[in-house]
Amino acid sequence: MNSIFREYDIRGIFEKELNEQTTKLIGYFLGLKFKPLGGVVAIGYDARSHSPILCEYLTSGLNQAGCQVLCMGLVATPVNYFSNYQEFDGLTPNASIMITGSHNPSEYNGFKITIDKKPFFGADIYALGDQVIKNIDVKIEDNTACKKIDAKTLYIDFMVREFAHLKGFDTPVVLDCGNGVAGVVILDIFDRLGFHYKALYANPDGAFPNHHPDPTIEENLIDIKKELAGDFQYGFAYDGDADRLAFLTKKHNVKGDIMAILYSEAMQNPTVIGEVKCSQVMYDTINAYGKAIIYKTGHSNLKVKIATLQADFAAEVSGHLFFNDRYFGYDDAIYATLRMIELIKNGLNVNQRIEALPRVYSTEEIKVQTTESEKFALIEQIKTLLKNPPKGFPRIKDIIDVDGVRVIFDAGWGLVRASNTTPVLVTRFESTDAQKAKEYETQMNALIQTAKEILK
């Protein structure tokens, strides 16, 4: 059961790991943490068939701990985050829990947790797991009493107000909601703003009958690309809980790091945080008119960093986009969509701007299988090997070890980091020269194999 308590959230298979007993205990021990802050907890859930069941289990645990539970029902994850900044009949949440399996297969579910507007993650989640496991036989009685709240309408009203200047935007766009929860809010927003759009798979269905709800995988974008081959100019695709965005034009699938350039160019002297997988093009471009900071991968890490530095924006390549400029600093794919439409309405030629950026050759994320017990040891061994690299290894200009190792070479970089959620090493390579990018990949992979041999 330890495996469900992960770096950024809690995630597992319904009934197997996330069953009635474990979920009630998670609610109870979380409730004991929430209570000293006031104990007002807002809960929302995604489209999976078991999400409302898990909501009842969590509510029982939270009630046992003496909390006041506010239930918002079926919502997108950003609506759940948004609730932390709202008041409901005199009650302001001190914490929130979003029940979602995000982009995982339909049998999975999980919890994204916020306390006092800050993510609950890392050591806190692992400590919670220890408490649950040690007390696994403690019985929590059924008590599903809660106060129903309408966070969704507040969120929709906020977006319509904030983007009222976009009313009548008539460039045709297509949305792929992937049968997740994006459609629960974005259709109303687009309708009230009078946009010209078509929505694919907007009906929430936790079985995800049309395609897997992960827009970072190209095969999940086939349908939206077909629409873009016709009259539609831009496409927006969402993961299962609508906190990640894929943005497409007729010519480009625009990754999160390139979107960061487009967004930040419209900001005054911006401070932007990127993760270690972001292109050097992003860092170099933003540093010409603002400040770009490299940091750890992970939505929880970036939320904490953006608040600490009071940065304007943060981005992951995967499409987690965090606006602290005019917003609350959490990842919200619906809000990011409206900010992109704002740029386009204000005259941004997306294709032209992307094609004016320096040309680089980048790999996608390449995963190297390993084990949970070995992955971090491999990173440490690679760091040791890089102190005295083998003959013929490309010249090293710098090593950034904020999250794994990002090795800066003369014409690009190579990254090796341990995934915090799966037993793999994640690698990515980039260069201004296609052959160099391949060379960096080959040399770094050889280093990984050497590290594996040493650890045997």
Domain ranges of the chain: 2-149, 153-356, 361-455
CATH topology of domain 2-149: Alpha-D-Glucose-1,6-Bisphosphate; Chain A, domain 3 (3.40.120)
Weakest mean pLDDT among 10-14, 24-28, 43-47, 160-164: 10-14
Count of CB atoms situated within 10 Å of the CB of 438: 14
Instruction: Please write the tens of the pLDDT for every residue from 73-84.
Output: 999 999 999 999
Mean pLDDT within 314-340 = 98
Band of residue 428 on the pLDDT scale cut at 50, 70, 90? very high
How far is CA 179 from its chain centroid? 18
pLDDT at 8: 84
Weakest mean pLDDT among 152-156, 213-217, 267-271: 213-217
**Could you list the active site residues?**
11, 102, 320
Sorted by sequence, the CB contacts under 8 Å of residue 234 that are 6+ apart come out as 171, 173, 174, 228, 247, 248, 249, 340, 344, 350
pLDDT at 50: 97
Q: Is the pLDDT of residue 310 over 90?
A: yes
Instruction: Please write the tens of the pLDDT for every residue from 167-190.
Output: 989 999 999 999 999 999 999 999
pLDDT at 456: 85
Q: Is the pLDDT of residue 386 over 90?
A: yes
Query: Residues of the chain with pLDDT > 90: what percent?
Result: 94
* Phi, psi (degrees; rounded to nearest 5) at 308: -60, -45
Exposed, middle or buried, 186 (CB in 10 Å: 0-12/13-18/19+)? buried
Query: Residues of the chain with pLDDT > 70: what percent?
Result: 100
Q: Is the pLDDT of residue 373 over 90?
A: no
Mean pLDDT within 149-174 = 97
Q: Is the pLDDT of residue 281 over 70?
A: yes
pTM given for the model: 0.95
Band of residue 420 on the pLDDT scale cut at 50, 70, 90? confident
Mean pLDDT within 302-321 = 97
Reduced to 3 states, what is the DSSP secondary structure of residue 229? coil
Measured distance CA(329)–CA(299) in Å, rounded: 11
**Which class does domain 361-455 fall in?**
alpha beta
Domains 153-356 and 361-455 share a fold: no
Mean pLDDT within 85-105 = 95
Band of residue 1 on the pLDDT scale cut at 50, 70, 90? low
Band of residue 138 on the pLDDT scale cut at 50, 70, 90? very high
Mean pLDDT, rounded, of the chain: 96
Q: Is the pLDDT of residue 421 over 80?
A: no
pLDDT at 7: 83
pLDDT at 3: 81
Q: What letter would DSSP give residue 71? A: E
CATH classification for the domain delimited by 153-356, as one of 3.30.450.20, 3.40.120.10, 3.30.300.160, 3.40.50.300: 3.40.120.10
Return the structure tokens found at 120: 């609950």
Count of CB atoms situated within 10 Å of the CB of 124: 16
CB contact at 8 A, 221 and 248: yes
Return the structure tokens found at 192: 């009230």
